Amino acid sequence: MNRNAVFHRSTCDMCYAADNDTVVIRLLTGKDIDKAFIICADPFLNELTRKKSWYGKPFPMTLQMELEERFVWTFRTSPKFKRLQYYFKVVSENKEYYLFDNKLCPVDEAENRSRQYYKYPWLNPSDVISPPQWVRETVWYQIMPDRFCRSAESETLPQIRAWGKGSLLPFNNFFGGNLKGITERLPYLRDLGIGGIYLTPIFSSNSYHRYNTFDYKLIDPMLGTEDDMRKLVKTAHSLGIRIMLDGVFNHCGTEFMPWQDVCKNGRSSPYYDWFFINDDNFIKPRFDTADGRFYTFSFWSGMPKLNTNNPEVIEYFTGICSYWVREWDIDGIRFDVGDEISHTFLRELRRSLKPIKPDLFLLGEIWFDSINWLTGTEYDSVMNYPLSSCINDFAGNSSLSGRDFMYALNKCLLMYPEQVSQVLFNFLDTHDTMRVTEECQGNTDLLIQRLAMLMTLSGTPCIYYGTEIALRGKNPKDNRSCMPWSSIEKGEYDEVLNKIKELIAVRNNNPQLSDIGVEFIHHDEPRLLHYIRTDTRTDKRLGVYINAGSKPFAVPKEGRVIFSNLFSGDTLDINGTVIYEI
């Protein structure tokens, strides 16, 4: 038996409360394990029964998922007194082993050794990780306001370029998209099937992307006014669409008033400790900060890093966010560079905002395993870059098989408690990445395959504006192009747009797709991806076929087809996709 592969810790990814009654426990083992059991009971059972020592009852564990070199076993229970003590028994080639918190040993040797048990001490309702339930059912749409839509009423300003004309790259190339323009296009988004809009920053700045914020209290006049924002949110809500703003709290722009005061007054500024300044001679014309004179986002001197450990900074931004929620009724905040903001800042902000709007969605931009931020006291969710890599790697690398995809996906699902996995922010592309259509080299059949995976896996999917019409673009040169509304209205994108509407409708009409269970079925063709999604509440099932192989595949008649692409009769062509009800 591979002893090193048998592993458990009583941490929130391996032992957690799924709700106010249910505890879920996971165990990792090697693939040489035939059976796994958990021996568990109330930690004080022996006192109740007057036994000399504690004892538990064995229960079989379920083989939940398979990784490349490991099995993942699970056990769900509802302990009557809200607490649990436990250890494990695993069986390999008819030999039995116990796993305690302090050792792994053969069963026949356990009597002569000390035992330390694992423990779930107490199921406190306030400690249960409870992301907003509405997020599970939401299909998001990311908008960069300057490039999405310019209202017909917009004033023509000298710095605004003709829509879609000229270079996209310089930071001060504005095309004039605004809040009124977004409001005008809400019916388009509702028809597409969108339930939530994620807006990149809208506050005053000298850049079109506005990630170098000058004033967190002032909507950039080029985008509109507070009344325009209120109207956008109110109209969106009337159509069943939520609004999430982008909060840039890791760093600011150089015209941010506290930074300007520090530049003027140095150490005597009351805002000096709002930043990380390491050299009194920090004001230099040098563009980068590789000399360490002060800390910034990356090495860009135009984005000084905020000290989010400072109580004054925390209080300031708590007030800012509270205003956004109270005055505009926004539904979520996405935290830019969310892994560099202090945990203290995030905990205090959450404690302040949730009483104002309990179902406010707090989303962190983190590109890696984020369990340290997802314990229920900070973010509700993070941007799911691991899943994006999982989908794009499989689709773009012909050497990867369906099993490889399964291993990668299961690793993603294993990262967090199930209720967190159900609200992870899934996507294929953003303003920070190459557009997925570019990765597909303009092939819309391949784009549809990737979107089919995005729409049929757990988590809350997001479409980057223009992906629904197969816009192309590499990062950072041209992935932020203007929406070609004239061409859209002429029907030039109808073929791909209608297919993607169908996919979004499949997602919206089948709530089991927000559940976490995935059953993979493997075929002789290694590049044929086939999986089943099941609603654990209703047992309703959907099957998905993705033909990423080199030859057509005969699809068995298993149920009613609800979406297909490159599918005729029962034959799924190369690059084809089928979703069916079982």
Q: Assess if residue 555 is contained within a domain.
A: yes
**CB contact at 8 A, 194 and 141:** yes
CATH of the domain at 245: 3.20.20.80
Residues 77 and 149 in one domain: no
**CB contact at 8 A, 107 and 96:** yes
What's the rounded Cα separation, in Å, for the pair 201 and 211?
Answer: 6
Omega cis (within 30) before 476? yes
Residues 552 and 565 in one domain: yes
Could you tell me the maximum CA-CA distance found in the chain, to the nearest angstrom?
85
Tell which of 288, 306, 324 closes a domain.
Answer: 306
Cα→Cα distances 477→204, 336, 360, 485, Å? 23, 21, 34, 21
Q: Which two tokens stand for residue 432?
A: 């920070």
Tell which of 306, 321, 342 closes a domain.
Answer: 306
Residues 151 and 226 in one domain: yes
Which ranges of 239-333 does DSSP label H, i.e. alpha helix? 257-265, 311-328
The burial class, CB within 10 Å (0-12 / 13-18 / 19+), for 482 is buried
Name the residue type at position 578: V
What's the rounded Cα separation, in Å, for the pair 220 and 213?
Answer: 10
List beta partners, residue 95: 92
**CB contact at 8 A, 536 and 515:** yes
Residues 184 and 55 in one domain: no
Q: Which two tokens stand for residue 463?
A: 């479409």
Q: What is the DSSP letter of 199?
A: E
Residues 283 and 239 in one domain: no
Residues 228 and 321 in one domain: yes
CATH of the domain at 568: 2.60.40.1180
Q: Assess if residue 245 is contained within a domain.
A: yes
**CB contact at 8 A, 172 and 221:** no
**Beta strand spans in 153-256 (E):** 196-199, 203-204, 215-219, 242-247
Q: In a structure prediction context, what are the per-residue pLDDT tens digits for the chain, which is 582 residues long?
A: 999 999 999 999 999 999 999 999 999 999 999 999 999 999 999 999 888 899 999 999 999 999 999 999 999 999 999 999 999 999 999 999 999 999 999 999 888 778 999 999 999 999 999 999 999 999 999 999 999 999 987 777 778 899 998 778 889 899 999 999 999 999 999 999 999 999 999 999 999 999 999 999 999 999 999 999 999 999 999 999 999 999 999 999 999 999 999 999 999 999 999 999 999 999 999 999 999 999 999 999 999 999 999 999 999 999 999 999 999 999 999 999 999 999 999 999 999 999 999 999 999 999 999 999 999 999 999 999 999 999 999 999 999 999 999 999 999 999 999 999 999 999 999 999 999 999 999 999 999 999 999 999 999 999 999 999 999 998 777 899 999 999 999 999 999 999 999 999 999 999 889 888 899 999 999 999 999 998 877 778 999 999 999 999 999 888 899 999 999 989 999 999 999 998
Residues 205 and 122 in one domain: no
Q: Assess if residue 398 is contained within a domain.
A: yes
Residues 415 and 320 in one domain: yes
Tell which of 97, 127, 157 closes a domain.
Answer: 127
List beta partners, residue 160: 174
Q: CA angle 472-475-476, nearest 5°?
A: 120
Q: Assess if residue 91 is contained within a domain.
A: yes
- 550 C-beta neighbours (distance < 10 Å), count: 9
The burial class, CB within 10 Å (0-12 / 13-18 / 19+), for 544 is buried
- 122 C-beta neighbours (distance < 10 Å), count: 13
Q: Assess if residue 102 is contained within a domain.
A: yes
Chain CA centroid to CA 490, Å:
34
Residues 316 and 365 in one domain: yes
- Tokens 């984005």 belong to 303
Q: Which two tokens stand for residue 516?
A: 């976490």
Residues 257 and 246 in one domain: no
Indicate which residues carry an active-site annotation. 336, 365
Q: Assess if residue 56 is contained within a domain.
A: yes
Give DSSP secondary structure letters for 413-472.
Answer: HHSS-HHHHTT-EEES--TTS--HHHHTTT-HHHHHHHHHHHHHSSSEEEEETTGGGT--
Q: Assess if residue 551 is contained within a domain.
A: yes
Count structural domains, the chain: 4
Residues 575 and 456 in one domain: no
- 554 C-beta neighbours (distance < 10 Å), count: 9
- 308 C-beta neighbours (distance < 10 Å), count: 21
What's the rounded Cα separation, in Å, for the pair 134 and 76?
Answer: 24
Residues 243 and 256 in one domain: no
**Size (the chain), residues:** 582
Q: Model's pTM, two decimal places?
A: 0.96
What's the rounded Cα separation, in Å, for the pair 110 and 115?
Answer: 8
Cα→Cα distances 4→1, 8, 104, 230, Å? 9, 11, 10, 57
Q: Are strands 460-464 and 140-143 parallel, antiparallel or unpaired?
A: parallel
Q: Assess if residue 135 is contained within a domain.
A: no
Domain limits for position 282: 252-306
